[in-house]
Amino acid sequence: MREVGRTMLFLWVPLLLAGAVIGFVILTYNRLVSLRMRVREAWSDIQVQMKRRYDLIPNLVETVKGYAGHEREVLERVVRARGEAMSNQGSPASQAESENILQGTLKSLFALSEAYPQLKADANFAKLQQELTETENKIKMSRRFYNGSVRDLNVTIEQFPSNLVAGPFGFVPAEFFALADDEAEAASRPVPISFGGSGA
């Protein structure tokens, strides 16, 4: 009787261990799929907002042209940067480079309004500027969500023991989408000061 019990134990232990391993693999795989889908969804949100900005730029250029048509170099740089950004279907890092160039040209375009009071007072220009600002804010929020999703996915891919599942099933780290204003924003944050040093 004791021998039968011992035999049953030797049979059940490997089965339970195998079941636990299979369960872990399934749960981890499903979590990785979920995180990857969240990254893709977040990237899609960014692209929607960027397309909205691309659609606003031609009207903005036409409005500026009405008051500052001789500023051809600035206008052409904006149009060229918009075209390059729209056609760039590369990685997030590659698209970030195009977006940084486009942002720089748009800043130059808005700087023109300081030299042309009539342009600055134009209702259509003010409306387009506001819409672009709102779109920029939406891109910034979408970017934060995307980068947070990328971080969660990448940490899960690299952490043990989930990395044992990620590698064999082809999960690879995703790229962050960092724009120039991310660095400016980080540099403008106040440096935390700690008063918790050892007392004299």
Cα–Cα distance measured from residue 198 to residue 179, given in angstroms and rounded to the nearest whole number = 40
Per DSSP, the residues of 148-199 read: HHHHHHHHHHHSTTTHHHHTTTT--PPPP---HHHHHHHHHSPPP----SPP
pLDDT tens digits, residue range 58-116? 999 999 988 887 888 999 999 999 999 999 999 999 999 999 999 999 999 888 888 88
- Predicted confidence (pLDDT) at residue 7 exceeds the cutoff of 90: no
| CATH code where residue 124 lies | 1.20.1440.20
| Domain membership flag for residue 163 | yes
| Domain membership flag for residue 94 | yes
pLDDT of residue 15: 79
| Domain membership flag for residue 194 | no
Spatial CA neighbour of 178 closest among 109, 95, 117, 115: 95
- Phi, psi dihedral angles at 176 (to 5 degrees): -75, 155
| Domain membership flag for residue 173 | yes
Expressed as residue numbers, the domain containing 126 is: 12-178
| Domain membership flag for residue 56 | yes
Q: Contact 166/25 with Cβ under 8 angstroms? A: no
| Domain membership flag for residue 148 | yes
| Domain membership flag for residue 189 | no
Q: Contact 150/174 with Cβ under 8 angstroms? A: yes
Average pLDDT of the segment spanning 21-42: 95
pLDDT tens digits, residue range 144-183? 999 999 999 999 999 999 999 999 999 999 999 988 765 4
Q: How many domains does the chain have?
A: 1
Compute the mean pLDDT over every residue in the chain, rounded to the nearest whole number.
85
| Domain membership flag for residue 48 | yes
